[in-house]
Amino acid sequence: MYSSATITMKAASSSTSLFFISKNPNFNSKTVPILNINKTHKPKSFSFFKSLKSIQSPKPASQNPNQSSFSCSAATLFPAETTDLLPCKLQRLITEFQSIPEPVDRVKRLLHYSALLPPLPESSRVDSNRVMGCTAQVWLEATLDEDNKMRFRADSDSEITKGFCYCLVSLFDGASPEEVVKVKTEDLAALNVGLVGGERSRVNTWQNVLISMQKRSKVLVAERQGNKLFEPFPSLVVTKDGIQAKGSYAEAQARYLFPDESKVGELVNVLKEKKIGIVAHFYMDPEVQGVLTAAQKHWPHIYISDSLVMADKAVKIAEAGCEFVTVLGVDFMSENVRAILDQAGFQDVGVYRMSDERIGCSLADAAATPAYMNYLEAASTCPPSLHVIYINTSLETKAFAHELVPTITCTSSNVVQTILQAFTQIPDLNLYYGPDSYMGANIAELFKQMAMMSDEEIAEIHPKHNRNSIRSLLPHLHYYQDGTCIVHDLFGHEVVEKINEMYCDAFLTAHLEVPGEMFSLAMEAKRRGMGVVGSTQNILDFIKQRVQEALNRDVNEHLQFVLGTETGMVTSIVAAVRSLLDSMTRTSTSSSPTIKSVQLGDFVLPVIPGVASGEGCSIHGGCASCPYMKMNSLTSLLKVAHSLPDRKNILKAYEADRFKSQTRQGKSVADVGCEPILHMRHFQANRELPEMLINQVLHSSSNGR
């Protein structure tokens, strides 16, 4: 799912608007929701120039403060050649700054240009003209003149950023929209100007202002041609006083943010009485998440997380004295919980699913096929070989795979580090990843990009790798070609085009399971500080961090996020933002208003539901969501809880049974299948593969398995 929200934060009051992308009837695609965040405080004067005490800005040249725009010929950067093509102007600008060897002198040049930038009137310094992703406040005004040429004006509260704005306006003012859109962000990468240690944020400013120029050019052209880019989004406006919903889809979301207190009380009472704990995945049914979030305040043994830590939380629940653990997720999750509890010595703790039917997973199903086993059979003939399997697979699959090729599980948050570490510990390793084909392709593409990075940049990702080692591992990295998540598969070409068209200036997040085009788009945003690619937890942490940074700056702020994963993730985003807003309100009222640091701490997950039917989004509903996850209903949860302990044996089909079957080598499926999980846990704790796994790889290399 893609979703968006706008968050407006004020010293005295706070509000959040959550917007969902609606489906354009003329655009046949699987569309997505979008998240915009606005922060508003009483404006405070801020100037990056003030920190540069040793650098003096030249006095502004005489200029008309009411001047609405200026052409390239009026800019001292390009005093002649008014007919220069934009690429020539850009190359001249790059050459100019590259000819200045000292960073402090490049900053002085920017300060000189900042003095030449005509100021925007206060009427133009509004949130609708803000440029997202810049450390300072930047305002950009764009118009399309009678000759179909773009006219730009810009301003900033930072002297250095004003210099950036002057250069970019000098480049693009008077250009055609086509010329503006044609320039790529990497074309500005050579404009690496700024203070030592701050180069990345400076490059981000160049690129983010460019992206904003391009978006506004597209919008103006569409308006002149009479084209409507998109229909209004449904939205949620979240304030400290409540939530306002606009559009029937948003109304459905808001309904579950304040769950039925009688249901909450019923659940809490039965959980306490029967000592039942709950582990639930982020993608749960909205009604369930709403009730669970409220119940957490009264019963601490309820955890909502990604699949990586569900089993860990189950162990915590058992250690706290709970006699039962209910698992709200798909079947491989309950299998993992059962196996890890057994390994931890809690065989007497009951584990229960939420349906008497199979709760499947398209990825788990892909790995449980003869084709996947054939893939591993081939891998076993190329020693030394290691199989890295996504945790979203059944225990039985893990067991059968481990007997064919030594196996370690991974998640989307640790898969890159797992692979990099494996290649450092096992010389001449052949590594096989599966079953998610998109993730495999994205990992391979990521390593190809790393191979073009500097050794220093690579060392920041993994200290024992460099450009040569990354290049050498590429031919030895293999991934399965026929496994996808049915939700992330929706984020294809048409969605990417729509994001490029309407949300190119937003923070872009993407799960590692999305198709390649979406992955590349998010990686490009990541390179300019405007995106993240990773797990659901990585996405959530990124959004929280950006909101926290906005709160810590005492300036007006406008943030927009595009969320690239299942619809259930919007829940945790709204929860985190509301918690931040509440913390800001408490800090402002109980302490000094000048205190900016707000600690988020643990957060809860209220509900923003997706609609179980339909692909894509409209103002009336139908967001991409996992139908398997939605099989975990509140009714089932209450039924299981009330029926425990199961003396009448009515929950037999709900129980997460231990595997009593055996592998081809006559070993317990539960024991063998749990071993790759334990290998991963060792890696998480020690940042290296366990010696047992290394020996298994080398042993299979010499004797076969």
Q: Which of 176-180, 567-571, 583-587, 639-643 has the lowest mean pLDDT?
A: 583-587
Say whether domain 259-357+632-654 belongs to CATH 3.40.50.10800: yes
Digit-coded pLDDT (tens) for 516-569:
677 777 888 887 788 888 877 888 888 888 888 877 776 656 677 777 776 566
Q: At residue 250, does pLDDT exceed 70?
A: no
What is the pLDDT confidence band of residue 2, given thresholds at 50, 70 and 90? Answer: very low
* Cα 622–Cα 626–Cα 627 angle in degrees, nearest 5: 85
The residue ranges of every structural domain in the chain are 86-225, 259-357+632-654, 362-484+660-699, 493-584+599-625
- Residue found under tokens 């800019």: 75
- The vertex-89 CA angle with 85 and 91, nearest 5°, equals 115
The rounded distance, in Å, linking the Cα atoms of 239 and 223 is 33
HSE of 14, CA atoms in CB hemisphere, 13 A: 22
Instruction: Please give the Cα distance from 542 to 545 (Å, whole number).
Output: 5
CA 698-371-695 angle, to 5 degrees, is: 10
Which of 503, 629, 610, 532 lies closest to 211, judged by CA?
503
- Could you tell me the maximum CA-CA distance found in the chain, to the nearest angstrom? 90
End-to-end CA distance of the chain: 42
pLDDT value at residue 384: 96
Lowest mean pLDDT among 189-198, 382-391, 459-468, 598-607: 598-607
DSSP lists the bridge partners of residue 302 as 278
Mean pLDDT on 649-661: 87
pLDDT score for 282: 80
How confident is the model at residue 69, as a pLDDT? 34
Residue 314: its H or E element: helix 307-319
Mean pLDDT of 220-238: 69
Q: Give me the pLDDT at residue 372, please.
A: 95
Q: Is residue 134 among the annotated active site residues?
A: yes
Does the pLDDT of residue 60 top 60, yes or no?
Answer: no
Phi, psi of 511 (to 5 degrees): -75, 150
Strands (E), 61-184: 138-144, 150-156
User: What does the alpha-carbon distance between residue 590 and residue 91 come to, in Å, rounded to a whole number?
Assistant: 54
The yes-or-no verdict on residue 634 having pLDDT over 90 is: yes
- Which SS3 state, helix, strand or coil, does residue 66 take? coil
User: Which H/E stretch holds residue 16?
Assistant: strand 14-19
* pTM, two decimal places: 0.63
Question: pLDDT digit string (tens) for 93-126?
Answer: 888 888 888 888 888 898 999 999 999 999 999 8
Architecture of the structural domain at 86-225: Alpha-Beta Complex (3.90)
Strand-pair category, 150-156 with 242-246: unpaired
pLDDT of 621 reads 40
Contacts for 620 with CB less than 8 Å, ≥ 6 apart = 234, 247, 248, 249
Burial (Cβ within 10 Å: 0-12, 13-18, ≥19) of residue 705: middle
What value does the mean pLDDT of the chain take? 76
Torsional class of 242: left (φ above 0), alpha (ψ -120 to 50), beta (otherwise): left
Per-residue pLDDT band for 661 (boundaries 50, 70, 90) equals: confident
Instruction: Find the range with the poorest average confidence among 178-182, 320-324, 581-585.
Output: 581-585
Cα(577)–Cα(606) distance, integer angstroms = 11
**Over the stretch 277-292, which tens digit does the pLDDT of each residue have?**
999 988 787 788 889 9
Structure tokens at 307: 């699949």
Average pLDDT score over residue span 256-268: 89
Task: Give the residue carrying structure tokens 């030594």.
Answer: 406
Kindly report whether the peptide bond that precedes residue 515 is cis, defined as omega within 30 degrees of 0.
no
Domain 493-584+599-625 has CATH 3.40.1010: yes
Residue position matching structure tokens 């096929």: 369
DSSP label at 87? Answer: H
User: What is the residue type of 134?
Assistant: C
Q: Residue 225: exposed, middle, or buried by beta-carbon count in 10 A (0-12, 13-18, 19+)?
A: exposed
* φ and ψ at residue 143, rounded to 5 degrees: -135, 160
115 closest CA partner among 152, 72, 75, 73: 75
Catalytic residue among 134, 167, 361, 617: 134
